[in-house]
Amino acid sequence: MREGSLKSLSFIVCFVFGLVVSMHSAAVASKKTPIYNMGYIFTTHHTPLVVAMAKGEAFKNFGVYLKPVVEKMKYALMDGDTQLATLNIIVAKSGSETTTLFAMNRMDMALASGTAIMSGIDKGSNIKMVCPLHVDGMGLVFPQGSSVNGWDDVLAYIKASKRPVKIGYHSPTSAPRIVIEGALNKVGLKVTQDATDFDADVLLVDLKSTSNLIPALVGHQVDAWVGPAPHPEVAELKNVGHIALDLRDLPPAGEWHNFPCCVMAARQSVIDDHPEVVEKMLELMTKCGEWSNTHTAEQSEIVSKWIGVPAKAIENSTIIYTTEPSDNWMHGEAVYLDILNSMDKFKGRLKGKTLDEVKPLLYDFRFLH
């Protein structure tokens, strides 16, 4: 064979070999597990994720589970023996902070109040709710020793006050704040956030964080507050608060029963690029939620140690974990949207819209079975 032919053949062989190596490398790279930031808040509302992290490989029989890499901080999302993703766990203070992190591209998936996610979507964040997480679990708390019990007493207390009754909340877009303001507005009470408006019936006070709820009550900063479980139950156990009302019992009767609160949300790019990760996270939340509903004592002990609240307070909670967007749940979502619009909270994509008009913007339930 001529020297030129040998050189040509050598070139072709090298080229083909290089092409094969390149294709193999691309295939390996495409199989590389993604790394995502997964957020939650220190609340019993997010028990399914806490339980999933705490139980770890003990839930391997679920098929999908979290394998600890660094306890409480980093986990491998496993589908059987296959790792689908690495999850960096982020603890947020509130739903508002969660949506801020989404907007800053520092959050990929998260558990947060649905109202907070609505607010983030209105402002332009490219995120979707992929499932509910639970229903109920919100209370109105007065100081220990208060005789206020039930809606009739709450209404009488407000009407008898010579000044606006100060009711605190932990986050502007939190479900408890939206529910209490919506219910008070529906019965014709004047609600304000302006401390100089002395004609108002109720002054809503932003306490910034759930950690400030009990101190605000003890320090007489507010007359009462609304908050998510386990904070009302903790206030009672510590003998500093009295649950006057479960928010599901606010008027109109039945309007707030089985009402939505927290959801699982994901960035659109995560849904598009790795739908299997979102699907399996949803499956994990479903199975861990069902387990939590039927193993109350054990899940209460787990969450108690994890977030530092009494197990008894967790057991006393009225939360029901579910990832099913039932008719009642969707009705509640419509109410939230209407209330937020009536309060002029939306300035962007959700402003003046009905739920039917914005469902494609808000939800992606393709992974529900």
Do domains 35-136+259-362 and 138-249 share one topology? The answer is yes
For 138-249, the fitting CATH number among 3.40.30.10, 3.40.190.10, 3.40.50.300, 3.40.1360.10 is 3.40.190.10
- pLDDT computed for residue 17 by the predictor: 44
Looking at per-residue pLDDT, the higher value among 291 and 317 belongs to 291
pLDDT tens string 12-30:
444 444 443 343 333 333 4
Looking at per-residue pLDDT, the higher value among 332 and 55 belongs to 55
pLDDT-derived band of residue 362, with 50, 70 and 90 as boundaries? very high
Average pLDDT estimate for 145-165: 97
CA neighbor of 288 nearest in space, from 100, 86, 111:
111
- pLDDT computed for residue 27 by the predictor: 36
- pLDDT computed for residue 321 by the predictor: 97
**Domain 35-136+259-362 = CATH 3.40.50.620:** no
- 350 in Cβ contact with 173 (< 8 Å): no
Domain ranges of the chain: 35-136+259-362, 138-249
